[in-house]
Amino acid sequence: MIISILSFLTILNLVSSQQLIDLNTFTGGNLKNDIIAHAPYDVFVSAQSDDSDLLMQILLVTEDKKNISFFELTNRKPFLTTSQIEPFHVGTTAYVTTNLTGDQMKNLTGVMFISTTKQLQVNNFHVIDVDKVQNLYLPDENQTILFLNSNMDMSRTTTISNFNQTSNSSIFFYQGIPTDDDEKINSFIFSNPVLVQNKSVFIPNVEKFSLNLKAFYVKYYGKVAFGVAPDNYDPNNSTTTAMITTGLVMKPIGQKDKITRIGTMRNDTLDGKVGANLIGSLPPSGHVVVGIPNVESEIMVPTDQIQSHTNNEVGIDFQVSSVNATDGEYFVQYYVIQTTKGSSMISCFSVFIVFCLSFM
């Protein structure tokens, strides 16, 4: 009886939750693949590396017989400058069917995102396909944007660049897909304002960085602009571009341990500090090392909430490395802050407390 109740609760949770479904999990051979979701809901598909002829043969069929092919779903992008996906609305029930073989289906690399009824009821949620270079000028609002990347030529890597943000705005990057529940405190992989010694400090410059993820999302409030591209950027041996700046180093699952060295633009007449916020998941024997080489480094084991380390000086460079982390992934948001000697590192910026952000 207990097992039956647990099974029911599991199904209920799945039905009422957002879902990211790999297309290669659907069965071919003209069988019905029922979409287990609570209607009404919206469907979004990204399948950049899948053959158009194959996608034309995969159908989403609704109860009222509004058949649409996955090729059509991937091309529901009404805007010229961005690849925002127009949602396909399902009012009752739907299923996926195709005459493709099981082997053909298993080779697909695209994804389908299914929203929830609650998500439909707000007009501040959008989905963008990272299929080309796009410059995003986000309105001065409170919004959530989901990014889907199915470009296998670039191993699902998205490069974020040309960041421009007003000091009274806030943005948070999260791994995966947004749900109707609030995020766990300090579970973001990148933010601005940046978490600096338990305070949130606005950083006026953001370095280019890459995310090797098939899905990630941002929550923001205020005026923000940045570019996205299906491209890879390796920050190793780069140099920061401002005295006060922040960026990100990511090690994806499957990538071997490596050292990422980042040089720092610095001025010896200024006081400064360099720090790192770590989040991720590693095998039991894995750990990450962050800090200034030959000066001060910290051995850290990432979890699903941010752990921080700060060096109260700015060296020629700083490094991020890992041990036994090949089967895990981690994100390190680094920051460099340099100010006039004797001034407060925190008070010279706009300071926000993370927990007081009403839109979160």
The CATH code of the domain that includes 45 is: 2.60.120
- Whether residues 340 and 199 share a domain: the answer is yes
The percentage of residues in the chain with a pLDDT greater than 90, rounded to a whole number, is: 81
pLDDT the model gives residue 12: 41
Of 105, 120, 135, the residue at which a domain comes to its end is 120
Contact 113, 177 (CB under 8 A): yes
- Whether residues 228 and 318 share a domain: the answer is yes
Q: Give the count of domains, the chain.
A: 2
pLDDT the model gives residue 15: 55
Of 83, 101, 120, the residue at which a domain comes to its end is 120
Kindly report, residue by residue over 148-163, the tens digit of the pLDDT: 999 999 899 999 999 9
pLDDT the model gives residue 359: 39
Q: Is residue 7 part of a domain?
A: no
CA dihedral 247, 253, 259, 263 (to 10 degrees): -10
State yes or no: pLDDT of 10 exceeds 60: no
3 state SS of 196: strand
Q: Is residue 3 part of a domain?
A: no
- pLDDT, the chain, mean: 90
- Whether residues 110 and 132 share a domain: the answer is no
pLDDT the model gives residue 344: 54
State yes or no: pLDDT of 92 exceeds 70: yes
65 Cβ contact partners less than 8 Å away, ≥ 6 residues apart: none
Kindly report, residue by residue over 294-349, the tens digit of the pLDDT: 888 999 999 999 999 999 999 999 999 999 999 999 999 999 999 886 655 444 44
- Whether residues 147 and 255 share a domain: the answer is yes
Give the residue-averaged pLDDT of 207-214: 98
Give the residue-averaged pLDDT of 87-106: 96
**Of 249 and 268, more confident:** 249
- Whether residues 148 and 165 share a domain: the answer is yes
- Whether residues 49 and 187 share a domain: the answer is no
- Whether residues 76 and 215 share a domain: the answer is no
Determine the structural domain holding residue 33 and report its residue range: 15-120
Kindly report, residue by residue over 243-264, the tens digit of the pLDDT: 999 999 999 999 999 999 999 9
**Sequence-distant contacts of 64-72: CB under 8 A, at least 24 apart:** 64/91, 64/92, 70/23, 70/45, 70/110
Q: Is residue 98 part of a domain?
A: yes
Q: Is residue 8 part of a domain?
A: no
pLDDT the model gives residue 232: 96
- Whether residues 253 and 206 share a domain: the answer is yes
209 Cβ contact partners less than 8 Å away, ≥ 6 residues apart: 159, 160, 190, 233, 235, 247, 248, 249, 250
- Whether residues 101 and 192 share a domain: the answer is no
State yes or no: pLDDT of 53 exceeds 50: yes
Q: Is residue 56 part of a domain?
A: yes
Question: Beta-carbon neighbour count of residue 153 at 10 Å?
Answer: 9
Count how many Cα atoms sit within 13 Å of the Cα of residue 79 in the half-sphere of its side chain. Answer: 14
Q: Is residue 234 part of a domain?
A: yes
